[in-house]
């Protein structure tokens, strides 16, 4: 099993000692598009994640991606249900089984997120750089304010 690809942002900061070609990067700003309607099959956790995914990734996600986004959101609902079942179980050995079920589901969810370009490595493969919504203060400015 190979190591995951290094995010493009990190490659640019650290340099490119191997001189391998770096994909052309595209800066992604805030999406102006509207999310597709929330599927009726989703429960609370899935509905919340649906809105978050379309808000964060609407620039590169399109209507044809809705089934994959729905799958990820369904996994969110499943994880919430598994957690409730785990927490409601009084027998420790049963709690442990539910814990491992949650862990497996989270792994599947991470795979789904990667396929949607929602992880740094997946965005690097797409050649995307997600712009931050608000600029953070530089260390020097923050230090100067503390000293004053």
Quote the pLDDT of residue 133.
33
pTM higher than the cut 0.95:
no
Q: Is position 126 within any domain?
A: yes
Q: Is position 81 within any domain?
A: yes
b/e per residue, 34-48, with b = 16+ CB within 10 A? ebbeeeeebeebbbb
Q: Is position 60 within any domain?
A: yes
Q: Is position 8 within any domain?
A: no
Q: Mean pLDDT of successive 10-residue segments in the chain (148 residues)?
A: 67 75 63 81 98 90 92 98 95 94 97 93 75 43 59
Q: How many domains does the chain have?
A: 1
Structure tokens at 22: 């770096």
Q: Which domain holds residue 76?
A: 56-132
What is d(CA 96, CA 86) in angstroms, rounded to the nearest whole number? 8
Q: What angle do CA 128, 132, 138 make, to 5 degrees?
A: 125
Quote the pLDDT of residue 19.
79
Q: Is position 71 within any domain?
A: yes
Q: Is position 140 within any domain?
A: no
Quote the pLDDT of residue 95.
94
Count the neighbouring beta carbons within 10 Å of the beta carbon of residue 117. 22
Q: Is position 41 within any domain?
A: no
Q: Is position 37 within any domain?
A: no
């Amino acid at each position: 099993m190979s190591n995951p690809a290094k995010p493009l942002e990190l490659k640019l900061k650290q340099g490119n000692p191997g001189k391998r070609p770096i994909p052309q990067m595209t800066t992604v700003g805030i999406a102006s598009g509207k999310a597709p309607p929330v599927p009726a099959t989703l429960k609370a956790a899935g509905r919340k994640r649906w809105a978050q995914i379309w808000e964060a990734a609407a620039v590169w996600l399109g209507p044809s991606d809705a089934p994959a986004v729905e799958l990820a959101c369904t996994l969110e609902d499943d994880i919430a249900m598994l957690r409730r079942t785990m927490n409601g179980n009084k027998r420790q050995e049963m709690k442990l089984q539910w814990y491992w079920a949650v862990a497996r589901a989270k792994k599947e969810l991470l795979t789904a997120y990667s396929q949607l370009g929602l992880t740094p490595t997946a965005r690097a493969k797409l050649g995307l750089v997600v712009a931050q919504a608000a600029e953070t203060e530089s260390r020097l400015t923050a230090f100067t304010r503390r000293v004053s």
